[in-house]
Amino acid sequence: MMTVAEIGVDLLARLFADSGLGVVLVAAGTPIPGSYWGESEAGLIRHRLFVRLDTPLHSALHEAAHYLCMDPERREVLDRDAGGDYAEEDAVCYLQVLLIDRIAALTGSIRFNRQQLFADMDAWGYTFRLGSAQRWFESDADEARLWLERRGIQGLSPCPAL
């Protein structure tokens, strides 16, 4: 499982800086503010993504993608539960895959790749009709991609700025 420690909080902060999402590192063993799932899972409160070094990278990307997919009014009242409907949740999952591409481009590391992200998503328990994150992304995610495109959400290629 890829963790925030492997890419560092600075890279996450740089990745989301232009979107208005700040990244806050929480001390080891401390509960993560705004975490929907608890434990080491990332948290969201307004314009802040809370992570620990042991936070799974897929969790940080997922919560950040929720932030990127919501409108400014929802961001202002955001506290733990990102809300949204099923279509938005699918778009969030799609966007987190695009974000791992961006991390790979920024770091130049082969460690950060879709295959590892898909494996981490499957291990965590994301569920998709086709049985795996990779099969969903490659064969059943057109609606999620279109949802992002209709809203003009950046991230549809590995390197443009958010």
Phi, psi of 66 (to 5 degrees): -60, -45
Q: What is the pLDDT of residues 38-74, one digit of tens each?
A: 999 999 999 999 999 999 999 999 999 999 999 999 9
Domain boundaries, the chain: 4-77, 86-150
Residues 1 and 158: their CA atoms lie apart, in Å, by: 21
pLDDT of residue 92: 96
Confidence band for 110, pLDDT divided at 50, 70 and 90: confident
The full 3-state SS of 47-83, as one line of letters, equals CEEEECCCCEHHHHHHHHHHHHHCCHHHHHHCECCCC
Q: What percent of the chain is modeled with pLDDT above 90?
A: 83
Mean pLDDT for the chain? Answer: 91
Read off the pLDDT of each residue in 78-82 and give the average, rounded to a whole number.
93
25: amino acid identity, one letter: L
- Report the predicted TM-score, pTM, of the whole model to 2 decimal places: 0.92
